[in-house]
């Protein structure tokens, strides 16, 4: 049974889905060009904190540089750039470990900083909820 703010169990979007003491978010496919683009934006429920891993996937082969920013309450807490993406690059081998307090707002943005072509991206946030 899914509890808390949730889309369909396998849904995508900007809400964190809860199953027992586990939480996840699937962004769905988001096109990223040379403008700062939000891949997802969500809120953490007030009565919990969340320990989660963030994995980001670039689904398009290109030689362009993509800059990502992780923001908590509109402040950048992590920034990284995938340079010269010559294969379908991803950050699954080194996911970003996050501890998120209740009531916070988490946001992931991306921008193609070396070209204007739209490239497809997805993100997965998965973790455990603590009351």
Tokens of 30: 């988001």
- Note the pLDDT of residue 18: 87
Q: Hey, what domains does the chain have and what are their CATH numbers? A: 27-122 (2.60.120)
Distance CA 5, CA 15 (A): 7
Residue 25, classified by CB atoms within 10 Å of its CB into exposed (0-12), middle (13-18) or buried (19+), is buried
pLDDT tens-digit profile, the chain (131 residues): 334 444 445 567 788 988 889 999 999 999 999 999 999 999 988 888 899 999 988 877 778 888 999 999 999 999 988 876 665 555 556 788 999 988 889 999 999 999 898 989 999 999 999 97
- Note the pLDDT of residue 7: 44
Tokens of 1: 């049974």
20: left (phi over 0), alpha (psi -120 to 50) or beta: left
């Amino acid at each position: 049974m899914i509890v808390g703010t949730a889309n369909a169990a396998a849904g995508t979007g900007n809400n964190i889905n809860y199953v027992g003491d586990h939480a996840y978010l699937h962004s769905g496919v988001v096109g990223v060009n040379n403008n700062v683009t939000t891949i997802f934006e969500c809120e953490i429920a007030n009565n919990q904190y969340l320990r989660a891993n963030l994995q980001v996937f670039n689904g398009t082969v290109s030689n362009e540089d993509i800059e990502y920013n992780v923001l908590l309450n509109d402040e950048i807490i992590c920034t990284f750039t995938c340079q010269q993406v010559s294969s379908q690059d991803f950050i699954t081998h080194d996911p970003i470990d996050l501890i998120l307090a209740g009531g916070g707002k988490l946001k992931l943005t991306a921008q193609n900083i070396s070209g204007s072509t739209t490239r497809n991206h997805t993100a997965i946030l998965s973790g455990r909820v603590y009351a």
